Amino acid sequence: MEFSGAKVTSADGTTIGYRRLGEGPGLLLISGGYLAAQHYMGLARALSDGFTVHVHDRRGRGRSGPPGERYGMARECEDVEALVAGTGARLVFGHSSGGLIALQAALTVPAISAVAVYEPALSMYGAFDLSWIPRFEREMDRGDVAAAMVTFAKGVRAERLSAAMPRWLFEPALRWYLRRQRRAPGSDEESVAELIPLQRLDVQIFAELSTSDGYAELRADALLMDGERTPPPIHRALDALQATLPRAERVVLDGVGHEAPLDGRGSPGRVAAELRRFFSRR
């Protein structure tokens, strides 16, 4: 199925580009980390038979403008608000840091009626040790993206392999991988090597919200999702979130980890099935 491209203008004048496909109630998908709209098209297509799916490129990615000097969670929520106003979408799904944005936007954008998240980057419930962030920033400052990403991966322990692999092996393996990543000839989509420095922005909002009060005031219907193969800190964070949202639904998908919503590496069809079940009742 083909998609059409469109754009909205956020509150600070930044252009936010998005892809649109399907028919039905409007559903906005928010990417995580250094990922962009291109990585969620399998999930979007799996949902497009029942929803009008909008997948935007967050700031610094694809068809959207730069992060801006005042980048932070407030800008991300303004972008979501502009997309909701421009598309009429009332349903929102977010993955990883995109899940954090989805939850925060659901607090501040009254038009959002339901929100679903897959392993949101919850940093406000004490489930994560944040002592790795200064080292990550130093490594980013000196342009050593591979070292910074190893520090990030080991700090958040989002995948079992990255948590177990020793740094002396992990860093050269990641440097080799990034050297091999190139944009396809004629493509306007950035490669992973081009996108991965954007992880610094996500760490910024991760740290920004680490002292927030959480989401006890959330009024939108909520679905909380995680994968069985994901390490314990993410499960503990979702447990804490669920305890503050007694009416939220919780689904644990067996046999998958943090990358479940993604094309290629994940199981977007399984995630789509849960989203379809949840959102179809709203």
- What is the per-residue pLDDT across 197-224, written as a single tens digit (0 to 9) for each? 999 999 999 999 998 989 999 999 999 9
Query: Could you tell me if 118 and 144 lie in one domain?
Result: no
How many domains, in total, are found in the chain? 2
- The whole-angstrom separation of Cα 109 and Cα 77 is 8
Residue 232 has pLDDT above 80, yes or no: yes
Query: Could you tell me if 106 and 217 lie in one domain?
Result: yes
User: From edge to edge, which strands make up the β-sheet containing 26-30?
Assistant: 4-9, 15-21, 52-56, 26-30, 91-95, 114-118, 221-227, 249-253
Query: Could you tell me if 179 and 62 lie in one domain?
Result: no
Q: How confident is the model at residue 102 (pLDDT cuts 50, 70, 90)?
A: very high
Domain boundary among the residues 176, 202, 228 is at 202
Query: Could you tell me if 175 and 40 lie in one domain?
Result: no
Domain boundary among the residues 202, 223, 254 is at 202
Residue 208 located in a structural domain:
no
Residue 129 has pLDDT above 80, yes or no: yes
Residue 185 has pLDDT above 80, yes or no: no
Q: What is the pTM of this model?
A: 0.95
Q: How confident is the model at residue 2 (pLDDT cuts 50, 70, 90)?
A: low
Query: Could you tell me if 176 and 274 lie in one domain?
Result: no
Do the beta carbons of residue 94 and residue 120 sit within 8 Å? yes
Residue 142 located in a structural domain:
yes
Query: Could you tell me if 74 and 148 lie in one domain?
Result: no
Domain boundary among the residues 202, 230, 259 is at 202
Name the residue with higher pLDDT: 127 or 88: 88
Residue 266 located in a structural domain:
yes
Domain CATH code at residue 17: 3.40.50.1820
Which are the contacts of 133, defined by CB distance < 8 A and separation ≥ 6? Answer: 155, 203, 207
Residue 150 located in a structural domain:
yes
Residue 43 located in a structural domain:
yes
Query: Could you tell me if 33 and 66 lie in one domain?
Result: yes
Q: How confident is the model at residue 125 (pLDDT cuts 50, 70, 90)?
A: confident
- What is the per-residue pLDDT across 245-269, written as a single tens digit (0 to 9) for each? 988 999 999 999 999 999 988 899 9
Residue 207 located in a structural domain:
no
Query: Could you tell me if 141 and 250 lie in one domain?
Result: no
Query: Could you tell me if 39 and 177 lie in one domain?
Result: no
* Domain interval for residue 149: 133-202
Query: Could you tell me if 62 and 190 lie in one domain?
Result: no
Query: Could you tell me if 44 and 74 lie in one domain?
Result: yes
Query: Could you tell me if 196 and 234 lie in one domain?
Result: no
